[in-house]
Amino acid sequence: MPKNSPIYLSPTFKKKEGSIESQIFRLTSRVVKLTYHFKKHGKDYSSQRGLWKILGQRKRLLAYLFKTNLTTYQDLTSELRIRRLKKN
């Protein structure tokens, strides 16, 4: 987890380390690490399954955050530069 990231520097991150925002941040950092790993090891299918599970967990957390606190959801997706949820 980079120390100079915007969510790590925010005062709420240190207070609420188990919060939805920090969980999404940690999952996003794992996704970034795994995508870098796949550039070298494209046929690592067991790690691909782990990536899919991480993405599913992050999607569920983002959906929950969207329902409960829309402004935090919008701020977090813009800070982490991740796509927003599709509207059904």
> In the prediction, which pLDDT does 14 show?
57
Domain hosting residue 41, numbered range? 6-80
Q: Is residue 40 part of a domain?
A: yes
Within a domain: residue 85? Answer: no
Domain of residue 40, CATH code: 1.10.287.10
CA 61 to CA 38: how far, in whole Å? Answer: 24
Examine residue 88 and state whether it is found in any structural domain, yes or no. no
Each residue's pLDDT tens digit, 19-68: 999 999 999 999 999 999 999 999 999 999 999 999 999 999 999 999 99
Q: 37 to each of 5, 13, 34, how far by Cα in Å?
A: 21, 27, 5
Establish if 14 belongs to a structural domain.
Answer: yes
pLDDT digits (tens, 9 = 90+) for 1-14: 455 555 555 555 55
Task: Give the pTM.
Answer: 0.81
Domain annotation covers residue 1 = no
Specify the pLDDT at position 87: 76
Q: Which residue has the tokens 């790590």?
A: 8
Give the per-residue pLDDT at 84. Answer: 92
State the pLDDT at residue 16: 79
Secondary structure (DSSP) of 34-85 = HHHHHHH-TT-HHHHHHHHHHHHHHHHHHHHHHHH-HHHHHHHHHHHT-PPP
